[in-house]
Chain A
Amino acid sequence: MKKFLLSCFVIGCFVVYSVHQRHEGAAVVVLPPAANKPQAPSSTNSTSTASSPTAQPNSPYKDGQYTGEATDAYYGYIQVQATIQNGKLTDVQFLQYPSDRSTSVYINSQAMPYLKQEAIQAQSANVDGVSGATDTSQAFIGSLRSALQKASNS
Chain B
Amino acid sequence: MKHTRLIMGMPVTLILPNGNTELINEAFEYFRYVDETYSPFKPGSEVSKINAGLPESRWLLEMRSILALCEQTKHETNGYFDAWRGGKLDPSGLVKGWAIHNVALWLGEVGQEDFYVEAGGDIEVSGTNANKKPWRIGIRNPFNRDEIVKVVELAKGGIATSGTAVRGQHIYNPHQLEMPLTDVVSLTVIGPDIYEADRFATAAFAMGKAGVEWIESLPGLEGYMVSSDRTATVTTGFGGYEVAGR
Q: How far is the CB of A44 from chain B (nearest CB, A)?
A: 29
Contact A108 B217 (CB under 8 A): yes
Q: Which of A4-12, A29-37, A59-67, A94-102 contacts B (4 or more CB under 8 A)?
A: A94-102
Contact A136 B169 (CB under 8 A): yes
| Complexed CA–CA distance, A3 and B149 (Å) | 44
Contact A120 B161 (CB under 8 A): no
Contact B246 A123 (CB under 8 A): yes
**A128 on the interface (CB 8 Å rule)?**
yes
| Complexed CA–CA distance, A122 and B146 (Å) | 10
Residues in chain B near residue A140, CB distance under 8 A: 9
Contact A138 B10 (CB under 8 A): yes
**A153 on the interface (CB 8 Å rule)?**
no
Q: Give B189's nearest chain A residue, CB to CB.
A: A131
**A55 on the interface (CB 8 Å rule)?**
no
Within 8 A of A (CB), among B215-242: 216-219, 225-226, 230-237
Q: Give B158's nearest chain A residue, CB to CB.
A: A131
Within the complex, which residue of B125, B135, B148 is in contact with A123, where a contact is CB–CB below 8 Å?
B148
Q: Give A147's nearest chain B residue, CB to CB.
A: B41
Contact A127 B116 (CB under 8 A): no
| Complexed CA–CA distance, A102 and B215 (Å) | 12
Q: How far is the CB of A128 from chain B (nearest CB, A)?
A: 5
| Complexed CA–CA distance, A127 and B134 (Å) | 10
Contact B213 A109 (CB under 8 A): yes
Q: Give A98's nearest chain B residue, CB to CB.
A: B236
Given A117-B231, A124-B246, A128-B116: A26 and B10 within 8 A (CB)? no
Q: Which of B63-71, B74-82, B137-145 contacts A (4 or more CB under 8 A)?
A: B137-145
Chain A residues bordering chain B, tally (CB within 8 A): 42
Q: How far is the CB of B109 from chain A (nearest CB, A)?
A: 23
Contact B10 A134 (CB under 8 A): yes
Within the complex, which residue of B162, B186, B233 is in contact with A116, where a contact is CB–CB below 8 Å?
B233
Contact A131 B122 (CB under 8 A): yes
Contact B233 A134 (CB under 8 A): no
Q: Give B139's nearest chain A residue, CB to CB.
A: A131
Within the complex, which residue of B8, B136, B218, B226 is in contact with A120, where a contact is CB–CB below 8 Å?
B226
**B165 on the interface (CB 8 Å rule)?**
yes
Contact B162 A133 (CB under 8 A): yes
**B151 on the interface (CB 8 Å rule)?**
yes
Q: Mark A76-106, 1 if CB is under 8 A from B, else 0.
A: 0000000000000000001001011110011
Residues in chain B near residue A128, CB distance under 8 A: 15, 116, 125, 129, 135-137
Within 8 A of A (CB), among B111-143: 116, 118, 120-123, 125, 129, 135-143
Given A120-B149, A125-B138: A115 and B167 within 8 A (CB)? no
Given A118-B231, A121-B149: A130 and B213 within 8 A (CB)? no
Q: Mark B24-55, 1 if CB is under 8 A from A, else 0.
A: 00000000000000000100000000000000
Q: How far is the CB of A26 from chain B (nearest CB, A)?
A: 5
Contact B167 A137 (CB under 8 A): yes
Given A115-B212, A128-B116, A129-B118: A135 and B218 within 8 A (CB)? no
Given A129-B118, A131-B138: 4 more A-B contacts, CB < 8 Å: A102-B219, A116-B234, A122-B144, A129-B116
5 closest A-B pairs by beta carbon, nearest first, are A133-B163, A132-B140, A139-B9, A109-B217, A142-B9
